[in-house]
């Protein structure tokens, strides 16, 4: 019995029309149906932030959103940040400042940071720490992540 | 030519894939025809399995296999890095909350989950032991069947092993003051953001295994033995783990998944949930009784330490953790009389395993805190008492062990300076300072191959796992340095036992030293071949040529390696191949099997502020200074030290397993078990290194990455004590615990 539902959405600029199981999350669909494995799965309860993506410009824990709720939405994942081989200033700053260790939380951190900078192009340290409080990093790169976001914000000015 | 790469911080090798979402972790690899697996567990700490009925589960469309103990070879194969006591799947009795009784493999995750839900397990709940006291009760049920423990005289108890180390005569020692206290350290979990992932697939007449494992070669050895296969028929793929911290060192569910793959003839993968990782790995909790003898001048006369580590139901590497972690338990001090008894105590809890610090943070918490209490009783400064007793370089502070291998006082003085030790404090604030030491690898073998290709670019084959610590970058820096290659033209291949030479393990902060020396040796072999080429090409005797750090030095001129390589290889091209080894030989007479190749030494100092209304502790300033010999990549060293410090703040301030009365873990997962977030950080952090190039690794490097975690708890508790006047001897220092202690102080 096929109980899937049709949805259409745009993922990283590409229109997708697919059928999804009604109980599958956006995270399930991105990873398993679309093969976009850059978005990571960890806590499944919206606490760790590893699955953070942008939905219509706002960050969402994709483990908490049903895929059917994304019908008609515009989704951006970590794979959609760079333009071809060209990294965004934020991605580059993550590398330059040492904000990446094991890398597993990095996609979520980047998405949260992009959303923060879109909303507040010149955040201070407190705003960055609050803005990314929902993104856990067990390697403990928090200071470097903050430095990277500050550097990228600076870059945006120049 | 200057040293262009050593001591610099180029961007992480492999970093671009990590910021593009293209880095492949095990869960990101999807083999065609793969089956998804789910574990079946029972909801109690210990149970007798009466029957398992898979019929309903097998009716679920897509379910291909429900495998239980009955479907595995008999007697049940067992494995483990220390003792072969862990069954592939629970047989007869479950031993901890989360011990699987069956595995379901299905075409989809949904079907596997539904199948697992429908496996009907009839069981009788049995009384568990999940505290030290309960496990040691003479009437306690035995966690392990004595028949598994051979001739062990302790086999009829829950004490797996007693580790004794000591020197001098504690009982005869005269001390002006004896300070005796009990301390406890909680059960905490690694919480790698990548949950453990396992996959296995039949591979011709052998098997291929993918695992987020730190020790692929050790896994290969265990799998070969379990399956009766030659090593060459077990191929382990070990993509970079998404954080390890020790929790991914040893074999867990790879054997179960491999048997499922062989049974179905298809690839099978098992991706744990975060909650399931809590039931797969943890740090041993510990109860420590310390008696410290002191003279009025602050000299430590003796340390008498009993540490009961509560390990799990199966040994894993936990008993080694207890033995190695307690060995330097008296700290980096010259103490004339020491007696340490550390016990590994079995319990019906998740098997504890290696975790950053490897048994040292528990005992350090107690011994360093007790020294603070002694200093206060003597009216002595806490910094001064440490400096007065600290081992100086070359001191045999642990008899018959590696002598003190650094100018450790430099780290202590620098940390004190950075925290502003002795300066006036704002009201409600206090400072703490503590030191930590950990033995590096006591044995080890890391082999590597370096290929210098025809255009001067380099491929390094090294079996170290890069789980975030940055080994790939450091190894690339060494190869680039020695072979005169741009860093961007060095590729480091890891994580495939069929391709990459043997590496014993990625643990004990060894890789920069042992694999670093191995890659350096492989580069030396390449350099020797270049020297032979240069002699041939230029008609100069080899003895007059040297090749080092990318430069070929001949009488009258220097050339680059590339300038020799191209004509040296000639028209057919090809490449130059070097092999290398880094060894730490065993010393059979040593209680640990060998003296450590180096020590990790750290001094941590903090300034804390305690909110007396809520009991909440804020770290105003955190200083961590490690003796690293030489920082090959200073930014990565800083990242490791700060990461370790933050991880240490986790077990110090917030992390602990909570059990119900039945021994079930009540705070599984990210909502109820908190780790530090960006909102829990010290307001300021300063991490510095002491570098005297006095380590055994390349360019004088020592291993590092665990040191900055070792003594965080004692430093913070010392600050809380100074801020509030209360000593708290049980971790974590949660707001509730601090608040209660404050109320008790005030008689509220």
What is the CATH classification number for the domain harbouring B75? Answer: 3.90.1170.50
Domain final residue pick, A80, A106, A135: A80
How far is Cα B516 from Cα B478, in angstroms, rounded to an integer? 7
Nearest to A43 among B16, B190, B670 (CB): B670
Cis peptide leading into B268, omega within 30 of 0?
no
Structural domains of chain A, count: 2
CB-CB under 8 Å, B24 with A145? no
Q: 3-state SS string over B592-657?
A: CCCCCCCEEEEEEEEEEEECCCCCCEEEEEEEEEEECCCCCCHHHHHHHHHHHHHHHHHHHHCCCC
Task: State chain B's mean pLDDT as an integer.
Answer: 97
Residues B9-15 have a mean pLDDT of 96
Residues A93 and A76 placed together within one structural domain of the fold: no
Candidates B195, B35, B164; CA nearest to B103 is: B35
Question: For B356-397, what is each residue's pLDDT tens digit?
Answer: 999 999 999 999 999 999 999 999 999 999 999 999 999 999
Residues from chain A that touch B679, judged by Cβ atoms under 8 A, are: 129-130, 133
Residues B543 and B623 placed together within one structural domain of the fold: no
Q: Are B126 and B46 in contact (CB under 8 A)?
A: yes
Residue B548 lies in a domain: yes
Residues B514 and B607 placed together within one structural domain of the fold: no
Tokens of B480: 């680039």
pLDDT bracket for residue A2 (50, 70, 90): confident
Task: Please report where in the chains the tokens 């300033």 appear, as a residue.
Answer: B621
Question: For A30-65, what is each residue's pLDDT tens digit?
Answer: 999 999 999 999 999 999 999 999 999 999 999 999
Nearest to B670 among A28, A35, A47 (CB): A47
Residues A110 and A148 placed together within one structural domain of the fold: yes
Residue B473 lies in a domain: yes
Question: For B157-179, what is each residue's pLDDT tens digit?
Answer: 999 999 999 999 999 999 999 99
pLDDT bracket for residue B748 (50, 70, 90): confident
Res B211 pLDDT > 80: yes
CATH number of the domain bearing residue A75? 3.10.20.30
Residues 6+ apart with CB under 8 A from B410: B627, B690, B692
How far is Cα A100 from Cα A108, in angstroms, rounded to an integer? 12
Task: Please report where in the chains the tokens 């392990």 appear, as a residue.
Answer: B144
Residues B271 and B289 placed together within one structural domain of the fold: no
Domain final residue pick, B534, B556, B584: B584
Which residue range(s) make up the domain with B363?
285-441+590-745
Residue B189 lies in a domain: no
Residue B709 lies in a domain: yes
Residues B90 and B232 placed together within one structural domain of the fold: yes
Residues B112-128 have a mean pLDDT of 98
End-to-end CA distance of chain B: 70
In angstroms, the separation between the Cα of residue A13 and the nearest Cα of chain B is 16
Residue B673 lies in a domain: yes
CATH number of the domain bearing residue A139? 1.10.150.120
In chain A the beta strands, taken as DSSP E runs, fall at 5-11, 14-20, 52-55, 58-61, 74-76
Q: Are B695 and B668 in contact (CB under 8 A)?
A: no
Candidates B597, B598, B603; CA nearest to B710 is: B603
Nearest Cα residue in chain A from B275 = A43
Nearest to B21 among A44, A79, A136 (CB): A79
Res B527 pLDDT > 60: yes
CB-CB under 8 Å, B194 with A40? yes
Residues from chain A that touch B190, judged by Cβ atoms under 8 A, are: 138
Residue B695 lies in a domain: yes
Chain length of chain B: 748
Residues B369 and B497 placed together within one structural domain of the fold: no
Residues B60-78 have a mean pLDDT of 98
Q: How many other CB atoms sit within 10 Å of the CB of residue B426?
A: 10
Within 193-212 of B, beta carbons closer than 8 Å to A belong to: 193-195
Which member of B125, B706, B722, B744 is catalytic?
A: B706
Residues B571 and B595 placed together within one structural domain of the fold: no
Question: For B74-118, what is each residue's pLDDT tens digit?
Answer: 999 999 999 999 999 999 999 999 999 999 999 999 999 999 999
Give the rounded percent of residues in chain B with a pLDDT score beyond 70: 100
pLDDT at B747: 86
Residues from chain A that touch B671, judged by Cβ atoms under 8 A, are: 45, 47
Strand partners, B621: B607
pLDDT bracket for residue A1 (50, 70, 90): low
Residues B295 and B266 placed together within one structural domain of the fold: no
Nearest to A101 among B17, B20, B639 (CB): B639
Concerning whether B481 is annotated as a catalytic residue, the answer is no
Residues A73 and A94 placed together within one structural domain of the fold: no
Residues A68 and A100 placed together within one structural domain of the fold: no
Residues B610 and B576 placed together within one structural domain of the fold: no
pLDDT at B3: 54
Within 673-692 of B, beta carbons closer than 8 Å to A belong to: 675-679, 681, 685
Residues B628 and B602 placed together within one structural domain of the fold: yes
CB-CB under 8 Å, A81 with B273? no
Residue B693 lies in a domain: yes
Residues B434 and B450 placed together within one structural domain of the fold: no
Nearest Cα residue in chain B from A102 = B468
Question: For B328-357, what is each residue's pLDDT tens digit?
Answer: 999 999 999 999 999 999 999 999 999 999
Residues B569 and B605 placed together within one structural domain of the fold: no
Residues B552-565 have a mean pLDDT of 96
Residue B171 lies in a domain: no
Sign of CA dihedral B171, B174, B179, B183: negative
Which residue range(s) make up the domain with A18?
5-80
pLDDT at B654: 98
Structural domains of chain B, count: 3
Residues A15 and A61 placed together within one structural domain of the fold: yes
How far is Cα B588 from Cα B270, in angstroms, rounded to an integer? 39
Tokens of B445: 């073998």
Cis peptide leading into B75, omega within 30 of 0?
yes
pLDDT at A157: 66
Write the DSSP symbol of residue B232: G
Domain final residue pick, A56, A80, A104: A80
H helix or E strand, kind and range, residue B67? strand B63-68
Residues from chain B that touch A78, judged by Cβ atoms under 8 A, are: 19-21
pLDDT bracket for residue B1 (50, 70, 90): very low
Residues A108 and A141 placed together within one structural domain of the fold: yes
Residues B669-684 have a mean pLDDT of 98
Domain final residue pick, A80, A112, A131: A80
Give the rounded percent of residues in chain B with a pLDDT score beyond 90: 98
H helix or E strand, kind and range, residue B247? none
In angstroms, the separation between the Cα of residue B636 and the nearest Cα of chain A is 7
Residues B315 and B336 placed together within one structural domain of the fold: yes
CB-CB under 8 Å, B638 with A129? no
Nearest to B20 among A28, A82, A128 (CB): A82
CATH number of the domain bearing residue B673? 3.30.365.10
């Amino acid at each position: 019995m096929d109980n899937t539902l049709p949805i259409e959405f745009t993922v990283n600029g590409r229109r997708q029309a697919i059928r999804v199981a009604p109980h599958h999350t956006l995270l399930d669909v991105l990873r398993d149906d679309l093969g976009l494995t850059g978005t990571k799965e960890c806590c499944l309860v919206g606490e760790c932030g590893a699955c953070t993506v942008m939905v219509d410009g706002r960050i969402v824990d994709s483990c908490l959103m049903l895929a059917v709720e994304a019908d008609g939405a515009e989704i951006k994942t970590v794979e959609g940040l760079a333009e071809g081989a060209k990294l965004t200033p934020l991605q580059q700053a993550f590398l330059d400042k040492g904000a990446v260790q094991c890398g597993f939380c990095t996609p979520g951190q980047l998405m949260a940071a992009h959303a923060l900078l879109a909303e507040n192009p010149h955040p201070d340290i407190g705003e960055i720490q609050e803005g990314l409080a929902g993104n856990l990093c067990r390697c403990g790169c928090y200071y470097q992540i903050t430095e990277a976001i500050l550097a990228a914000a600076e870059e945006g000015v120049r | 030519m200057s040293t262009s790469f050593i001591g610099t911080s180029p961007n992480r090798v492999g970093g671009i894939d990590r910021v593009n979402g293209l880095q492949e972790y095990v869960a990101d690899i999807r083999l065609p025809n793969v089956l998804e697996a789910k574990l079946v567990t029972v909801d109690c700490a210990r149970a007798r399995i009466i029957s398992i009925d898979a019929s309903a589960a097998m009716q679920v469309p897509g379910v291909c296999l429900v495998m239980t103990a009955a479907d595995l070879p008999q007697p049940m194969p067992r494995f483990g890095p220390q003792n072969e006591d862990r069954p592939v799947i629970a047989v007869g009795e479950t031993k901890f909350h989360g011990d699987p009784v069956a595995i379901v493999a299905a075409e989809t995750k949904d079907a596997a989950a539904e199948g697992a839900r429908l496996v009907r397990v009839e069981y009788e709940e049995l009384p568990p032991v999940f505290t030290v006291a309960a496990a040691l009760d003479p009437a306690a049920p035995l966690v392990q069947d004595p028949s598994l423990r051979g001739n062990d005289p302790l086999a009829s108890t829950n004490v797996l092993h007693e580790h004794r180390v000591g020197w001098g005569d504690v009982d005869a020692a005269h001390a002006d003051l004896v300070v005796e206290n009990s301390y406890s350290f909680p059960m905490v979990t690694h919480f790698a953001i990548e949950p453990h992932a396992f996959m296995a697939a039949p591979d011709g007449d052998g098997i291929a295994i993918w695992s987020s494992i730190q020790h692929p070669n050790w896994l290969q050895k265990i799998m070969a033995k379990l399956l009766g296969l030659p090593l060459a028929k077990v191929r382990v793929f070990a993509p970079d783990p998404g954080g390890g911290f020790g929790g991914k060192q040893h074999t867990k569910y790879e054997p179960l998944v491999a048997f499922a793959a062989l049974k179905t003839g298809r690839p099978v993968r098992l991706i744990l949930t975060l909650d399931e990782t809590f039931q797969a790995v943890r740090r041993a909790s510990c109860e420590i009784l310390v008696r410290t003898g002191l003279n009025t001048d602050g000299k430590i006369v003796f340390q008498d330490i009993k540490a009961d580590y509560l390990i799990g139901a199966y040994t894993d590497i936990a008993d080694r953790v207890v033995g190695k972690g307690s060995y330097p338990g008296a700290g980096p001090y010259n103490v004339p009389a020491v007696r340490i008894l550390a016990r590994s105590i079995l319990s019906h809890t998740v098997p504890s395993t290696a975790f950053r610090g490897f048994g040292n943070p528990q005992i350090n918490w107690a011994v360093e805190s007790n020294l603070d209490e002694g200093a206060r009783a003597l009216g002595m400064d806490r910094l001064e008492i440490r400096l007065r007793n600290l081992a100086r370089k070359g001191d045999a502070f642990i008899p018959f062990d590696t002598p003190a291998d650094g100018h450790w006082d430099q780290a202590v003085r620098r940390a004190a300076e950075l925290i502003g030790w002795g300066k006036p404090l704002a009201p409600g604030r206090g400072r703490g300072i503590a030191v930590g030491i950990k033995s590096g690898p006591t044995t080890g073998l890391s082999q590597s191959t370096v290929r210098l290709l025809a255009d001067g670019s380099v491929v390094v084959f090294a079996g170290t796992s890069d789980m975030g610590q940055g080994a790939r970058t450091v190894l690339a820096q060494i190869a680039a340095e020695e072979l005169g290659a741009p860093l961007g033209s060095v590729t480091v291949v890891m994580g495939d036992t069929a391709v990459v030479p043997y590496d014993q393990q990625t643990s004990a902060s060894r890789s920069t030293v042992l694999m670093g020396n191995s890659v350096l040796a492989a580069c030396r072999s390449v350099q020797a071949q270049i020297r032979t080429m240069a002699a041939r090409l230029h008609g100069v005797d080899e003895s007059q040529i040297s090749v080092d750090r990318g430069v070929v030095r001949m009488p009258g001129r220097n050339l680059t390696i590339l300038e020799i390589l191209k004509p040296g290889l000639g028209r057919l091209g090809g490449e130059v191949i070097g092999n290398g080894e880094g060894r730490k030989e065993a010393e059979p007479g040593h209680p640990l099997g060998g003296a450590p190749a180096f020590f990790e030494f750290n001094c941590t100092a903090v300034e804390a502020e305690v909110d007396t209304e809520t009991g909440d502790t804020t770290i105003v300033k955190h200083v961590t200074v490690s003796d690293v010999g030489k920082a090959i990549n200073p930014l990565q060293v800083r990242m490791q030290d700060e990461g370790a410090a933050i991880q240490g703040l986790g077990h110090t301030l917030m992390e602990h397993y909570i059990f119900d009365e039945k021994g079930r873990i009540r705070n599984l997962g990210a909502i109820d078990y908190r780790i530090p977030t960006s909102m829990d950080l010290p307001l300021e952090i300063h991490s510095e290194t002491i570098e005297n190039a006095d380590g055994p690794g390349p360019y004088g490097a020592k291993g590092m990455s665990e040191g900055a975690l070792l003594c965080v708890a004692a430093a913070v508790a010392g600050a809380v004590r100074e801020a509030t006047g209360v000593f708290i001897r049980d971790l974590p220092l949660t707001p509730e615990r601090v608040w209660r202690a404050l109320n008790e102080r005030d008689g509220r």
